[in-house]
């Protein structure tokens, strides 16, 4: 029932956001002190536009704008920007009206003040939003509705901030040259057959084809007087929203799922480098069934 209520609320929110002909929005994201925060500037529709001008205000005592980059939609235009104390002006022009398009106009790349504490917040306020067509003279705002939705940056000490909820912490993505705003869990950046979410979950490197090193390894261990099939892997100490589950089967068709906590052969062993070694075991000792198979399932 609670889930249903949330869904209905979400549908209304989306409907409201698209009521205007041109709705420009900036979300509220979290960021670490001294950390990098990428914030998208998104437009509901750019159909019929040849010029867009946006000013976003931020708190310069808390945030430094390192860069502004054209997003997927912004790349349909020629893009330039200007930073002044606490403001960034984004300009997009093209010679003809865009037929259709929506999404990310720009990405604002901020770094947060290293001394920022978790109670600090900077509004990201859209202070200017102008659109024009290829005539250069028609006032589109006279016949079209423009809407702005402001956002902000909340300082947080969380080590696993994942503003786009793709399962991979933004800081880990930045560290490995992935864009937290556009990368997806199932993309395979190094083409080694291992999706990036698995690279993160098993402490691999999404930029190096290291599939073998980062995959869980099958082994066995004697626990008490019994020998068990085990599956060992390395994972980040701060694994964020990733949920590890252990599945076992005797025929590779029917699988039984247990939580990792239920399946641990021993407490995880920290390596001291932000990762830890984890060993899961089968629920039954070896020999109680003809065949045993173990695997790890990830959810996020």
Partner 1 sequence: MDGVLSPLFSFDPKAPTGRIFGSKSAPVLGDIDGDGDADFLAGTEGGALLYLRDPHLGRPADLSAVSGTNSILLNWAPDTQSRLRGYNVYRSDGSLVTWNSLLTDPIRLPTYRDGALVSGTAYSYRVTAVSYAYLPGNSTPKILETEPSDVAVATAGKVGFSLLGARGKPASYVKIPVSIQNSMGLRGTGMQIAITYDPNVLVPAVQSDASRKSVLKTGLSSGLEITDDGATANGTLTITGVSGAFQPGEGKLFTLVFKVKDSAALGVKTSVKISSAAVGSVAGNPQVVDISGSMSVEIAAIFLPGDVNGDGAATDADEVLLMELTMPEAVPTTEQLSAGDLNGDGKLTQPDVVLLKRLLEGLPVDESN
Instruction: Please select the residue that binds partner 1; options are 17, 20, 72, 141, rule is CB under 8 A.
Output: 141
Sign of the Cα torsion 46, 52, 57, 60 reads positive
**DSSP 3-state assignment of 24?**
strand
Nearer to partner 1, 91 or 265 (CB): 91
Site string for partner 1, 149-188 (x = CB under 8 A): -x--------------------------------------
Residues 6 or more apart whose CB falls under 8 angstroms from that of 231 comprise 216, 217, 218, 219, 246, 279, 280, 281, 294, 295, 296
Are the CB atoms for 81 and 63 separated by under 8 Å? no
Q: Which of 94, 35, 96 is nearest to 70 (CA)?
A: 94
Minimum gap (Å) between residue 248 Cβ and partner 1: 50
> Dihedrals φ, ψ of 10, to 5°?
-65, -40
Instruction: Please select the residue that binds partner 1; options are 66, 139, 262, 273, rule is CB under 8 A.
Output: 139
Minimum gap (Å) between residue 23 Cβ and partner 1: 12
The tokens for 235 are: 């994972």
25 contributes a contact to partner 1 by CB under 8 A: no
Count of residues engaged in binding partner 1, rule: CB under 8 A = 44
Task: List, in sequence order, every residue forming a beta bridge with 91; answer none if it has no partner.
Answer: 53, 80
Burial class, 130, CB count within 10 angstroms (exposed 0-12 / middle 13-18 / buried 19+): middle
Nearer to partner 1, 74 or 285 (CB): 74
33 contributes a contact to partner 1 by CB under 8 A: no
Among 75-83, 170-178, 188-196, 244-252, the segment contacting partner 1 (CB under 8 A): 75-83
**DSSP 3-state assignment of 88?**
strand
How many angstroms separate the CA atoms of 75 and 73, rounded?
A: 5
The tokens for 203 are: 């402490």
Instruction: Please select the residue that binds partner 1; options are 17, 20, 72, 146, rule is CB under 8 A.
Output: 146
Minimum gap (Å) between residue 201 Cβ and partner 1: 37
How many angstroms separate the CA atoms of 97 and 63, rounded?
A: 35
Minimum gap (Å) between residue 80 Cβ and partner 1: 6
Minimum gap (Å) between residue 122 Cβ and partner 1: 6
Nearer to partner 1, 91 or 211 (CB): 91
How many angstroms separate the CA atoms of 73 and 89, rounded?
A: 17
Segment 76-135, which members bind partner 1 (CB under 8 A)? 78, 80, 82, 84-87, 89, 91, 93-96, 122-130, 132-135
Are the CB atoms for 168 and 52 separated by under 8 Å? no
Nearer to partner 1, 136 or 272 (CB): 136
Nearer to partner 1, 82 or 175 (CB): 82
Segment 44-73, which members bind partner 1 (CB under 8 A)? 50-53, 55, 57-59
Contact set with partner 1 (CB under 8 A): 50-53, 55, 57-59, 78, 80, 82, 84-87, 89, 91, 93-96, 122-130, 132-139, 141-143, 146, 148, 150
């Amino acid at each position: 029932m609670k889930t249903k209520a949330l869904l209905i609320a979400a549908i209304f929110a989306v409907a409201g956001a698209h009521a205007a002909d041109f709705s420009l929005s900036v979300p509220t994201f979290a960021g670490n002190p001294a950390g990098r925060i990428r914030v998208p500037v998104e437009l509901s529709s750019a159909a019929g536009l040849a010029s867009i001008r946006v000013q976003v205000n931020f708190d310069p005592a808390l945030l430094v704008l390192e860069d502004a980059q054209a997003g997927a939609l912004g790349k349909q235009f020629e893009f330039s920007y200007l930073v002044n104390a606490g403001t960034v002006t984004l300009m997009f022009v093209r010679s003809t009206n865009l037929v259709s398009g929506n999404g990310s106009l720009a990405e604002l790349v901020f770094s947060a003040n290293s001394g920022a504490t978790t109670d600090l917040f900077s509004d990201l306020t859209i202070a200017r939003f102008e659109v024009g067509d290829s005539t250069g003279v028609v006032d589109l705002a006279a016949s079209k509705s423009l809407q702005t939705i402001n956002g902000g940056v909340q300082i947080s000490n969380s080590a696993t901030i994942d503003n786009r909820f793709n399962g991979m912490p933004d800081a880990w993505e930045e560290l490995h040259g992935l864009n937290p705003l556009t990368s997806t869990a199932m993309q395979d950046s190094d083409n080694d057959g291992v999706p990036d979410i698995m690279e993160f979950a098993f402490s691999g490197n999404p930029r190096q084809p290291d599939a073998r090193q980062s995959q869980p390894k099958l082994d066995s261990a004697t626990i008490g007087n019994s020998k068990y099939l085990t599956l060992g892997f390395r994972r980040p100490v701060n694994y964020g929203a990733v949920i590890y589950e252990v599945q076992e089967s005797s025929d590779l068709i029917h699988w039984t799922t247990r939580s990792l906590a239920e399946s641990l052969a021993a407490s995880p062993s920290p390596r001291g480098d932000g990762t830890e070694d984890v060993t899961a075991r089968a629920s039954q000792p070896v020999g109680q069934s003809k065949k045993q198979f173990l695997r790890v399932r990830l959810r996020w």
